[in-house]
Every structure is written in structure tokens, then in C-alpha cells.
């Protein structure tokens, strides 16, 4: 009996922790390149696949151009519903993310598999992406890795000291990546 009660209490604590963790997670914000399915309830003609354009907008029937980049899906639903209200008074709009192609970084240089890597979390670090790219080549200058980032048209170079990181040092150089970053491995 005591063991069953302890197991029950442990399970409850795990569930409470999982719920708290899920609630504290940041909601996904739409980005250019993301694929969406947008539909209006009871309006079969108003269901379509769209992609967020580089200017952050989508085009949807009756609504025209709608800016959605930087919004959550519920915010995008509200914005679209407001735009089509003239035609459908109480439209129930659903926006579903079907592809997160806007959340990519580029890996170039001396890695096993250079190319695009999709960020699966807003807290993905350079070490995690280098791992996805198969790791650095044995001839790479691993302490000279750079992350190139564009913010509001301004280029920034962030150093990454891979060899030091692998020894548990220079932890501040394990950069949290942002969509569009480029990792250069010389």
C-alpha cells in the first residue's frame, strides 16, 4: 500500500512538472517561409495551404494580404477573421502550422554534412546544430567557428570556441541560434 501511494505521489509530481514546463514554454511565432493551412469553419471554399512570404504576409481569399509574421496562430486567426468579417460575420478561422521552413540555419565549411538545419526549439544552440550536421571535420579550425547573424540589416559575427566547449570551457560561446543564422566552420 505504501509503495503504491509513493508511486502515485511521484507520478503526480511528474505530471505537475510537465504541465508547468509546457505552460512556461514560449508560443511559436510565425516566420517567413512557414507553411500554413488556413480554413474557415463551414466554408469549404475557404480552406487553403499558404506560405508566409519574405515580407511576413500571406494572401487569403476575402482577406487579401494579411501580415502574420511574429504572431502566434491564435493571433493570426483573429487577424484573418477581422479582415473577412465584412463577408462572413462570425467567421471561425483556424490556422495550423504544417511546416516550419522559416526556422532554418545554414551550416557551411568543414562539417560532415553542410547545408540547411531546421531549428526544432527556440533554444537550439550551435553545438546542437553542429551535431546535426555530423560534427566538425578533423581538419577544421574548431576554435575559429563563427555565427553570422543579421538583425535589422546589421551584420553581427559571434565567435564559437568549439574545442574549448568540448572541454567544458568558454560556455558563453555556445550561441543560441536564431532563424537565418549562418554557421561558418573554417
pLDDT in tens, 72-101: 999 999 999 999 999 999 999 999 999 988
Looking at domain 35-99, its CATH architecture is 2-Layer Sandwich (3.30)
Q: Can you name the CATH fold of 104-185?
A: Outer membrane lipoprotein wza fold like (3.10.560)
Cell readout for 33 is 517561409
pTM of the entire predicted model: 0.66
The residue ranges of every structural domain in the chain are 35-99, 104-185
Contacts of 11 (CB under 8 A, 6+ apart): none
Cell readout for 28 is 511559436
SS3 57: strand
Q: Which residue bears the cell 477573421?
A: 81
CB 27 within 8 A of CB 86: no
Give tens-digit pLDDT for 131-165.
999 999 999 999 999 999 998 889 999 999 999 99
Amino acid at each position: 500500500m505504501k509503495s503504491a501511494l509513493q508511486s502515485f505521489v511521484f507520478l503526480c509530481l511528474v505530471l505537475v512538472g510537465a504541465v508547468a514546463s509546457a505552460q512556461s514554454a514560449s508560443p511559436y511565432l510565425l516566420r517567413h517561409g512557414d507553411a500554413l493551412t488556413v480554413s474557415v469553419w463551414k466554408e469549404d471554399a475557404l480552406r487553403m495551404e499558404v506560405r508566409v512570404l519574405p515580407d511576413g504576409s500571406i494572401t487569403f481569399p476575402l482577406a487579401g494580404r494579411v501580415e502574420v509574421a511574429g504572431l502566434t496562430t491564435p493571433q493570426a486567426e483573429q487577424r484573418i477573421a477581422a479582415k473577412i468579417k465584412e463577408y462572413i460575420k462570425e467567421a471561425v478561422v483556424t490556422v495550423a502550422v504544417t511546416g516550419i521552413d522559416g526556422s532554418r540555419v545554414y551550416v557551411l565549411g568543414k562539417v560532415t554534412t553542410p547545408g540547411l538545419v531546421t531549428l526544432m526549439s527556440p533554444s537550439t544552440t550551435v553545438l546542437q546544430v553542429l551535431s546535426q550536421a555530423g560534427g566538425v571535420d578533423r581538419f577544421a579550425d574548431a576554435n575559429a567557428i563563427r555565427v553570422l547573424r543579421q538583425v535589422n540589416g546589421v551584420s553581427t559575427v559571434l565567435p564559437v570556441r568549439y574545442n574549448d566547449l568540448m572541454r567544458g570551457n568558454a560556455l558563453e560561446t555556445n550561441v543560441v541560434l536564431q532563424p537565418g543564422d549562418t554557421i561558418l566552420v573554417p
